[in-house]
Structure formats: structure tokens, C-alpha cells
Amino acid sequence: MTVRRPYAAALEWLRAAGLRSTRQRLALTRLLFAGTDRHVTVNALHKEARANNVRVTLATVYNTLNQFTEAGLLREVVVDASCTYFDTNASHHHHFFCEEDRYLVDIPGEELKVAKHPHPPPERRSRR
């Protein structure tokens, strides 16, 4: 089940999260949510924005994607120490990562199932 939110829904979402509808956020939201699900890096989105004549700073893209993630609109996918992706599909799912070409591929639907997993470690449950 894909939970991609179309552009309009994303805007609602941001308003509900108390984020102002600035020019930059609107533009980035459109880039992210106008089409199908995407996996973007901060850098790639920044370049894409500028290519689309959106005047926005790299720092703002960082801030924005972090805020969107905090609001639950995006999902952060940490690949390695020097590359984080943001996934417009915020539902719980897994990925393949192509190390050679450095891109993510969704593992669709129920194709990956965790049959059994342990409880959180006891030290966490008993402390505090």
C-alpha cells in the first residue's frame, strides 16, 4: 500500500503541523509530492529546485526536509555515513540499495516479512 500524499494533501499536512506556507516550502513540496514516490538527497533536491528556477538555499533545503520528516510527511533513510535519503513514502517499508549506482529501490507491498523478532533488550525495559 502506497501512502504517497498528493500535493494538496501535503499542504494540508504542513498547515496542520504549524508550518507556514512559504514560497520555498511550497516549491519543495510540489517537487516532492507532485508525482510518484521519490527518494531524494538534500543535494539532489537542491539542484533540482534551482534547475526549476526556485531560489532556495542548501541550508533551507536541509531545514525543510528535517521539518517535513519531523512532521511525518517524509521518512529518513540512512544509507551510509555520508548519504541520507528522504522518502516521500512515509509508510513502514524496506529498501534495496544499489551500492554501485547509489540509489534506493522500494521493496513493494508485503514482499518482505519479518517472521519473528525479539523483544527490546531487557536493560531498556527495566531501567528508569
Partner DNA sequence: GTGATTGCAAATCTTTTGCACTAAA
Partner DNA sequence: TTTAGTGCAAAAGATTTGCAATCAC
Binding residues for DNA, rule: CB under 7 A, are: 18-25, 41-43, 55-60, 62-64, 66, 81-84
Binding mask 80-109 for a copy of itself (x = CB under 8 A): xxxxx-----------x-x------x-xx-
87 forms beta bridges with 39, 75
Residue nearer to DNA on the CB measure, 49 or 110: 49
Task: Tell which one of 51, 53, 111, 125 touches a copy of itself (CB under 8 A).
Answer: 111
> Is 3 among the residues that bind a copy of itself (CB under 8 A)?
no
Question: Diameter of the chain by CA atoms?
Answer: 54
Q: How far apart are CA 24 and CA 128, in angstroms?
A: 42
Q: How far apart are CA 6 and CA 85, in angstroms?
A: 20
Q: Residues with Cβ < 8 Å from 109, sequence gap 6 or more?
A: 1
Interacting span for a copy of itself (CB under 8 A) from 5-13, 48-56, 58-66, 114-122: 114-122
Per-residue cell: 5: 500524499
